[in-house]
Structure 1
Amino acid sequence: MSDDPSFAALEDVGIAERDKPPFVRLPKPENLFGLRAMRFAALAPGHQLEAYLLFLSALSKVQDRLTRELPASALPTLAEMRQRAGHAMPILPREELADDPAASEAFSRLVTLLTDIAMPDLARAALERAGKADDEGRRAMFAAVLADAVPVEAVAEHIFAAAALQIVAAQHAAQLAPVLPQPVADGVCPCCGGPPVSSAVVGDANIEGVRYVQCSLCATQWNHVRVKCVSCGSTKGIAYQAIEGIADTIKAETCDECRTYVKILNQRKDMELEPVADDVASLGLDLLVTKAGWRRAGVNPFLLGY
């Protein structure tokens, strides 16, 4: 593992030379999960997690299908959302999804469509358990995922609950006006209040070099300056860890103040990098960084068992 400060030393781009970067970039459910499925599939061949990555590709394809087939449910009133934003609160509190009929419907459809999908035996057994859950059981799974409190012994079936919640949360966030979400707190999604999954230095022409953190639930991306801890906001003791001999497009930004880390993907060097899929595929980096004493601040429902 290397401690490399060069990842932060990207070329300066004067704000006057480009459009001011928007605070948030809302998800686009029409291609969010489809692109993720393609990335999982591309990462799988020859990977130590090949079977799991292919399973997640199939799962993402089902999410993509359901996003197109299931109608987006209604949002709170504009007045209510403005009030929440004005008080530095998430506009669409994720806790409310536990009782949302749309989440239960997405879960039912997801489990049904996955029945004929090839998957590891452990995932198959978990799918069968998930399919037997009654309304109370589903709500309990949703609540555990939304509270980041999934029981260790039941991680596998909660993957399906998380996948269903991602569909509904992304549909909700996509309906917002981009100017509505406002900063809430370090490491908190301004739309749903969820934790980050990872971050990326984007390569889009008008905001090239700007860093965005992506929500693990609704996939909203919010602007966060580089060389600043996503978790606690400190600018002290920030370093970049990487696996020696591996492409430097994915690194772990570590903070000595709170001893946490969040991955940062350099999409300027590789536009194919995807915040969720590449986070899973770079599990080896997590193992090295956590062994060195840092705690993961990003949440990925597909990595809860590792």
Structure 2
Amino acid sequence: MTASSTTQKLLSPEEIAVRAGEQLTFLHLPEAGVFAERALRLRELAAGHAMRDFLLFVAELAEAQHRALSAGTEVPLPTHEQVDAAARAGLPLLPAETWPRTAVWRESLRALLADLARRLLESPAKATVLQLAAASDEHLETQAGRLLTGVMLGLDLATAPLIAAGLQLHWVRLVRQTAARVAGPVAAFGRIDDPTACPCCGSRPVASLERLGSEGARYLACGLCAAQWHYVRVKCTHCQSTKGISLQNLVAADGSMPEAQPAVQAECCSECGHYLKLMHPVRDNGIEPLADDLATLTLDLLVSESGLQRHGVNLLLLFGEPDESPPPGREA
């Protein structure tokens, strides 16, 4: 559909002052229906989409995540001492790269994969799902570690979305149960020293969005635990500069805009050469950050042609060199 992009220069490079910013809710934790809403949006976006089959597969995956989250499995939670230590240090309480992953996440992943396989019927992906479900603990842990630390070497890109789904499920449980049982959302999770990272798990955002009901305030959406935290507008989410910020939109092949006010744009920074998508639910109230990020891959491709690098990460769709790692269950 699209073959080029158009750049919209903003009138001012300075930050937009958020009215009574301190009164805004800083952090929104993932709701119980986060995966169900994602699945619904993916099915809606899949209609007529060039990536229809993939979006429908991810929708099935999100529905399996929802069923697993609804089961109420308990996970080991941080202590009050760990909560206090993280707050004093200005660090996320549940850092994705270093937080201990106990056996419960692997057990939940295997159960999720078994549930998913039963619903895939004759899908070509079913064999991959079953193969990963039978993989060794060592393989699952090695792949999870590479995924969470951004190590592409040896990462199996074919099964990475499935591993990511298990990790998302685990961290959503961690965040929700910590807030409910340890110290409450305000005491457990707050501002950290790095405003561009998730205050719950330290992950990079998958996208940013102007939340409905927040007077147009911009929030970053975590691609792992689905938390959303406030971040001022017209400010780079990578280098935090307020200079050289512009918005790029998809345009039709004939050069015309497909819509007067696109619901998804790329906020680009000429200072550091990075970008992150900015989503506008007021223009499409069905927006779900991870789902709409997947469905606007064309925008990523067009922006990257200008040399910009993506700041955020979508764990369900990664790119890299052809994998040379051994099949599931046999690590090198």
Q: Same fold (TM over 0.5)?
A: yes
Structure 1, residues 26-50: CA drift from partner, whole Å, max 9, x if none? 111x200000000000001100001
Counterpart-to-counterpart distance in 1, 2:148 and 2:67: 23
CA contact (8 A) 2:161 2:317 kept: no
**Structure 1 position 6, deviation (Å):** 5.6
More helix by share: 1
**Structure 1 position 276, deviation (Å):** 0.3
Are the structure 2 counterparts of residues 158 and 299 from structure 1 closer, same or farther at C-alpha, using a change threshold of 3 Å? same
In the alignment, what sits opposite 1:189? 198
Are the structure 2 counterparts of residues 149 and 122 from structure 1 closer, same or farther at C-alpha, using a change threshold of 3 Å? farther
Larger-gyration structure (1/2): 2
In the alignment, what sits opposite 1:218? 225
In the alignment, what sits opposite 1:3? 7
In the alignment, what sits opposite 1:42? 44
SS in 2 for 1:262: strand
Counterpart-to-counterpart distance in 1, 2:11 and 2:113: 41
CA contact (8 A) 2:206 2:314 kept: yes
Counterpart-to-counterpart distance in 1, 2:121 and 2:319: 16
In the alignment, what sits opposite 1:101? 103
Are the structure 2 counterparts of residues 183 and 119 from structure 1 closer, same or farther at C-alpha, using a change threshold of 3 Å? farther
Q: CA RMSD in A?
A: 2.3
Are the structure 2 counterparts of residues 23 and 119 from structure 1 closer, same or farther at C-alpha, using a change threshold of 3 Å? farther
Q: TM-score, normalised by structure 2?
A: 0.84
Q: Which amino acid in 2 is paired with 1:190?
A: P
CA contact (8 A) 1:44 1:53 kept: yes
CA contact (8 A) 1:4 1:240 kept: yes
In the alignment, what sits opposite 2:293? 279
**Structure 1 position 266, deviation (Å):** 0.5
**Structure 1 position 118, deviation (Å):** 3.0
Unaligned runs of 5+ in 1: none
SS in 1 for 2:23: coil
Counterpart-to-counterpart distance in 1, 2:11 and 2:265: 8
> Does residue 259 of structure 1 match 2:263?
no
In the alignment, what sits opposite 1:233? 240
Residues matched between the structures, number: 300
Q: TM-score, normalised by structure 1?
A: 0.91
92-101 or 51-60: which moved more?
92-101
In the alignment, what sits opposite 2:137? 135
> Does residue 291 of structure 1 match 2:305?
yes
CA contact (8 A) 1:41 1:54 kept: yes
Are the structure 2 counterparts of residues 135 and 97 from structure 1 closer, same or farther at C-alpha, using a change threshold of 3 Å? farther
SS in 2 for 1:155: coil
Structure 1, residues 52-108: CA drift from partner, whole Å, max 9, x if none? 111111110000000011423132112211211221111112134563222111111
Counterpart-to-counterpart distance in 1, 2:121 and 2:291: 17
Counterpart-to-counterpart distance in 1, 2:319 and 2:122: 14
Percent of aligned pairs with the same residue? 33
Are the structure 2 counterparts of residues 111 and 151 from structure 1 closer, same or farther at C-alpha, using a change threshold of 3 Å? farther
Are the structure 2 counterparts of residues 107 and 85 from structure 1 closer, same or farther at C-alpha, using a change threshold of 3 Å? same
Counterpart-to-counterpart distance in 2, 1:184 and 1:196: 16
Structure 1, residues 226-284: CA drift from partner, whole Å, max 9, x if none? 00011111111111011122341100001111111100101122211110000000001
Are the structure 2 counterparts of residues 195 and 255 from structure 1 closer, same or farther at C-alpha, using a change threshold of 3 Å? same
SS in 2 for 1:182: coil
Are the structure 2 counterparts of residues 120 and 25 from structure 1 closer, same or farther at C-alpha, using a change threshold of 3 Å? farther
Taking the TM superposition and a 5 Å limit, the aligned residue runs for 1:1-80 are 1-5=5-9, 15=19, 20-28=23-31, 30-80=32-82
SS in 2 for 1:213: strand
Structure 1, residues 203-223: CA drift from partner, whole Å, max 9, x if none? 12xx22010001111111111
242-251 or 18-27: which moved more?
18-27
Counterpart-to-counterpart distance in 1, 2:12 and 2:75: 40
Counterpart-to-counterpart distance in 2, 1:93 and 1:76: 11
Counterpart-to-counterpart distance in 2, 1:199 and 1:8: 20
Are the structure 2 counterparts of residues 139 and 153 from structure 1 closer, same or farther at C-alpha, using a change threshold of 3 Å? closer
* Residue in structure 1 matching 2:147, options 145, 148, 164: 145
Are the structure 2 counterparts of residues 292 and 112 from structure 1 closer, same or farther at C-alpha, using a change threshold of 3 Å? same
* Residue in structure 2 matching 1:178, options 185, 188, 194: 185
SS in 2 for 1:302: coil
CA contact (8 A) 2:276 2:310 kept: yes
Unaligned runs of 5+ in 2: 252-256, 321-332
**Structure 1 position 22, deviation (Å):** 1.6
Are the structure 2 counterparts of residues 124 and 81 from structure 1 closer, same or farther at C-alpha, using a change threshold of 3 Å? same
CA contact (8 A) 1:55 1:120 kept: no
Are the structure 2 counterparts of residues 7 and 298 from structure 1 closer, same or farther at C-alpha, using a change threshold of 3 Å? farther
Counterpart-to-counterpart distance in 2, 1:22 and 1:272: 21
Q: Which amino acid in 1 is paired with 2:126?
A: R
